[in-house]
Amino acid sequence: MKNLLILGAGTSGTMMANHLISKLPKKEWSITVIDQFKTHYYQPGFLFLPFDIYTTKQVKKKGEKFIPKGANYIQKKIELIQPDENKVILEGGRVLDYDILIVATGTKIAPGEIEGMDGPMWYKNIFDFYTYEGAKALRNKLREWEGGKLVVHITEMPIKCPVAPLEFAFLADSYFKNKGMRDKVDITYVTPLGGAFTKPKATEALHHLLEEKGIKEVTDFNIERVDYENNKIIDYAETEVEYDLLVTVPTNMGDELMERSGMGDDLNYIPTDKATLQTKDHENIFAIGDATNLPASKAGSVAHFEAEILTENILRYIKGEPLKAEFDGHANCFIETGNGKALLIDFNYTHEPVEGTFPLPGIGPLKLLKESRTNHMGKMAFRWIYWNMLIKGRHIPFVSTNMTEKGKHFETVEK
Partner 1 sequence: MIKTFCKTQVEVKVSEDGYLEDMSQWNEEIAHEIAGELGIELTDKHFEVINYLREKTEAKEALTIRKVGKSGIVSIKELYQLFPKGPLKFSSKIAGIPKPTSCI
- Return residues touching partner 1 (CB under 8 A): 156-158, 162, 192-193, 197-199, 222, 224, 236-237, 266-267, 294-297, 331
Residue placing its CB nearer to partner 1 in the complex, 90 or 193: 193
Measured between alpha carbons, how far is 333 from 298 in angstroms, rounded to an integer? 11
Render 174-190 in DSSP notation, one character per residue: HHHHHTT-GGGEEEEEE
CB of 279 to partner 1, least distance (A): 16
Residue placing its CB nearer to partner 1 in the complex, 347 or 358: 347
Residue ranges of alpha helices (H) inside 132-291 are 132-144, 164-178, 200-212, 256-260
CB of 210 to partner 1, least distance (A): 18
Measured between alpha carbons, how far is 31 from 72 in angstroms, rounded to an integer? 6
CB of 377 to partner 1, least distance (A): 25
Q: Distance of CA 45 to CAs 384, 390, 402, Å?
A: 11, 15, 26
* Cα dihedral sign, 133-137-138-139: positive
- What are the backbone dihedrals phi and psi of residue 329, each rounded to the nearest 5 degrees, phi first? 80, 15
Q: What is the DSSP pairing of strand 87-90 with strand 245-249? A: unpaired
Residue placing its CB nearer to partner 1 in the complex, 231 or 297: 297
Residue placing its CB nearer to partner 1 in the complex, 247 or 294: 294
CB of 149 to partner 1, least distance (A): 25
Q: What is the DSSP pairing of strand 39-41 with strand 29-34? A: unpaired
CB of 351 to partner 1, least distance (A): 12
Residue placing its CB nearer to partner 1 in the complex, 60 or 274: 274
CB of 266 to partner 1, least distance (A): 6
Measured between alpha carbons, how far is 369 from 205 in angstroms, rounded to an integer? 7
Residue placing its CB nearer to partner 1 in the complex, 185 or 294: 294
